[in-house]
Structure 1
Amino acid sequence: MAKTKYINSMGELTRKDNSLCFRKNGRNIYIPVEGVNEIYCLNEISINTKLLDFIGRNNIIIHFFNYFEGYSGTFYPKDKYNSGKLIVKQVKAFEENRINIAKSIVSGIGRNIYEVLYHYYKHDKKEVKGTIDWIKKEFYSRVDEATNIKEVMAVEGEVWQRFYSEFKVILPEEFMMNKRCKRPPDNPINALISFGNSLLYTKTIATIYKTHLDQRISFLHEPSEGRFSLSLDISEVFKPVIVYKTIFELVNRKILKVEKHFDKKVNYCLLNEEGRNIFIKAFEEKLDSVFVQPKLKRRITYKTAMKLDCYKLIKFIMEDKEFIPFSLKEKC
């Protein structure tokens, strides 16, 4: 199984023979490259071009994060999955069918938020009924009636805001959120959301890299310089399933604690190293958790489900087959 390595400490990452060597505090830690497909650098890491050449030849992707635990950028080997035919078709799909794909993505977000909230409704959190009913009675019609991308994104923004408003029911008081604040996060729940979303975004970058899709041509989010906007599109429907379910479980089971796992400064709040390690472990376990995919009639992971969504999009682009993103309820 392909593995992900996380580097939490400051240090230097180099090549040593046919392995990687991470040096910190005068001590060498060797990382065999066999089976490694991604490395996350979550602190200040020194590297050189010799390392990048070695990493590229072994098809390993490296993600870099800044001091505020936000995503800085990714190094990945030169494209080996290029398909000129698909790129042409992807551009054509953007020009002719962008709004339909965007509506499918936003509908998928709403479906998965509904399922997450319904779980809590069934477990005596009846206060979430207002948002559940709104999704069932108004949300889908609002998506269908949207005539442009701006209107689609307005509905998406509303479903997220309604979801955030239910956190007061789902989470303990010390994890309350007055508003969503990203750069930098200003309280523990915002720190968890920002870190989790960044991890999921980079996982999606790595997933798309292994297909023939072009990272730069997106449908819900505006294609723009300086970011892989298609990764934002693909990751959105998985946020309620992977990021938020992980957060709710860690907080409600008191595995993550405000006083123990966060560094609070004047204008920001971040997970400390122990907190990051706890979250990363739970995040990876969620990605690798297994369920039966009814159409394939076999067991797959959420990581595989993300890749299948990429293939669904390719099917739409190349063969005009309906694009329906992953559904937590349907498991496909």
Structure 2
Amino acid sequence: MIKVLLNTLYVQTPQSYIRLDHETIVVEVEGAKTLQVPIHHIGAIVMFGHVSISPYLLGKCVNQGISVIWYDAYGRFLARATGRTNGNVLLRRAQHQLLEDEKRMFHIASRFVSGKIRNSKSVLQRAMRDYPEQRARLEQSVKQLDQSLRNIGKQSTLDELRGVEGYASSVYFEAFASLIRSDEDGFFSFTVRSRRPPRDPVNACLSFAYSILTQDCISALEGVGLDPQIGYLHALRPGKPSLGLDLVEEFRPYLADRFVLTLINRRQLDKSDFDMRPGGAVFLNEKGRKTFLAAYQKRKQEEIQHPIINQKVPLGLLPHVHARLLARHLRGDIAEYTPFIMR
């Protein structure tokens, strides 16, 4: 179940060109070589803005299962290239057949929601220990999340379940502002979750983190042979990675929200890392993305003792572990899908 955590190559310098040189990846800027790494050390290539890749390298990547992902200059996802569809066709058949079983579909969707709410609750409980002056406020939010967890079992339709998830998210983000500690001039003030576009620096960081994490979950699902577009909690729409969005829910608080809080509270990001766009949109700029991505890659290498498989696992492999657990459940190898719950 555990495999080597391969590195991700992020390229965001404008006019960079990425090419293949024998069994190595070469990055050039204005004709000058700036980086050369063995291709077998790379698990994915992520490009931002005006960056190009040679057809030969692109072909090599898809043949070797190396994902190539494009973002625009503001960190918004554009496209993703992968190799041939892999995995047992019987697994995908089971995944599709579940859509006809409303009771099982609801049950799996409820597992994603319960994982998200439990981990959101853990983020707030950790803050209660670290910031005792906020205890009363956070304690009330934790009680509301506990009620949301109890309400999951009282629902019978997916729309009702989505309503519980939406309410729990609003409770969580109302308390989120009190977790930001380094905001002397109000630059990192946060009031409400906003997206498409993000309206403040905190939302810009959250949106960027969620986008990267979603691509990690899509890669994990494809790696075990599941179809990322056939999900259960999120509605099915053309081009929408519904199962990828399902899986990412349980990881948002631990792998994204806590990471963003750490960057901000440790003052690793400041005003110079953001661009304010006409109309009120806020995005990480090239400097900010560089800081963000370097810290994110370092974070993915950290290990935890996984509560289900009882092994030490790098954080970057958590989506792969749970994609495998989900596949085993869909095949009937295990009775339940158990979401990741942070300790």
TM-score bracket relative to the smaller structure: over 0.9
Unmatched runs of 5 consecutive residues or more in structure 2: none
- 1:229-284 residue CA offsets vs partner (Å, 9 max, x unmatched): 21111111101001111111111111111x22111222221112221121112222
- Aligned CA RMSD, in angstroms, stands at 1.7
- Aligned-residue offset at 1:223: 2.2
Query: Structure 1 vs Structure 2: percent identity of aligned residues?
Result: 22
Q: Select which of 138, 148, 151 maps to 1:128.
A: 138
User: Who is 1:106 aligned against?
Assistant: 113
User: Who is 2:323 aligned against?
Assistant: 310
Say whether residues 1:176 and 2:189 are aligned partners.
yes
Question: Is contact 2:229–2:242 with CA below 8 Å preserved after alignment?
Answer: yes
Question: Is contact 1:208–1:231 with CA below 8 Å preserved after alignment?
Answer: yes
Q: Select which of 134, 153, 158 maps to 2:162.
A: 153
Question: Is contact 1:243–1:283 with CA below 8 Å preserved after alignment?
Answer: no
Q: Select which of 297, 319, 323 maps to 2:337.
A: 323
> Measured at CA, do residues 147 and 272 of structure 1 come closer, stay the same or move farther in structure 2, by a change above 3 Å?
same
User: Who is 1:292 aligned against?
Assistant: 305
User: Who is 2:68 aligned against?
Assistant: 62
SS in 2 for 1:131: helix
User: Who is 2:9 aligned against?
Assistant: 5
Matched residue pairs, number? 326
Name the aligned partner's letter for residue 110 of structure 1: I
- Aligned-residue offset at 1:219: 0.9
> Measured at CA, do residues 313 and 295 of structure 1 come closer, stay the same or move farther in structure 2, by a change above 3 Å?
closer
User: Who is 2:258 aligned against?
Assistant: 245
- 1:78-120 residue CA offsets vs partner (Å, 9 max, x unmatched): 12x2321111111122221111111111011000000010000
Question: Is contact 1:33–1:58 with CA below 8 Å preserved after alignment?
Answer: no
Say whether residues 1:261 and 2:273 are aligned partners.
yes
User: Who is 1:229 aligned against?
Assistant: 242
Question: Is contact 1:191–1:271 with CA below 8 Å preserved after alignment?
Answer: yes
> Measured at CA, do residues 88 and 191 of structure 1 come closer, stay the same or move farther in structure 2, by a change above 3 Å?
same
**2: CA distance between counterparts of 1:294 and 1:281?**
27
The two structures have a TM-score, normalised by structure 1, of 0.93
**1: CA distance between counterparts of 2:212 and 2:246?**
15
Question: Is contact 2:229–2:239 with CA below 8 Å preserved after alignment?
Answer: no
Question: Is contact 2:11–2:46 with CA below 8 Å preserved after alignment?
Answer: yes
Say whether residues 1:191 and 2:204 are aligned partners.
yes
Question: Is contact 2:58–2:68 with CA below 8 Å preserved after alignment?
Answer: no
Say whether residues 1:220 and 2:233 are aligned partners.
yes
Q: Which moved more, 1:139-148 or 1:292-301?
A: 292-301
- 1:175-211 residue CA offsets vs partner (Å, 9 max, x unmatched): 1233322222221011101100011011111211210
- 1:2-55 residue CA offsets vs partner (Å, 9 max, x unmatched): 111100112222233332232223322333312211111122222343332122
**1: CA distance between counterparts of 2:167 and 2:187?**
24
**1: CA distance between counterparts of 2:265 and 2:18?**
36
Question: Is contact 2:45–2:66 with CA below 8 Å preserved after alignment?
Answer: yes
Say whether residues 1:86 and 2:91 are aligned partners.
yes
User: Who is 2:21 aligned against?
Assistant: 16
Q: Which moved more, 1:157-166 or 1:15-24?
A: 15-24
Q: Select which of 76, 79, 82 maps to 1:76.
A: 82
> After the TM superposition, which segments of 4 or more aligned residues of structure 1 sit over 6 Å from their partners?
none
Name the aligned partner's letter for residue 117 of structure 2: G
Name the aligned partner's letter for residue 237 of structure 1: E
**1: CA distance between counterparts of 2:317 and 2:45?**
19
**1: CA distance between counterparts of 2:65 and 2:93?**
26
Unmatched runs of 5 consecutive residues or more in structure 1: none
SS in 2 for 1:21: strand
Name the aligned partner's letter for residue 4 of structure 1: T
Name the aligned partner's letter for residue 128 of structure 2: Y
Say whether residues 1:273 and 2:286 are aligned partners.
yes
Q: Which moved more, 1:51-60 or 1:65-74?
A: 51-60
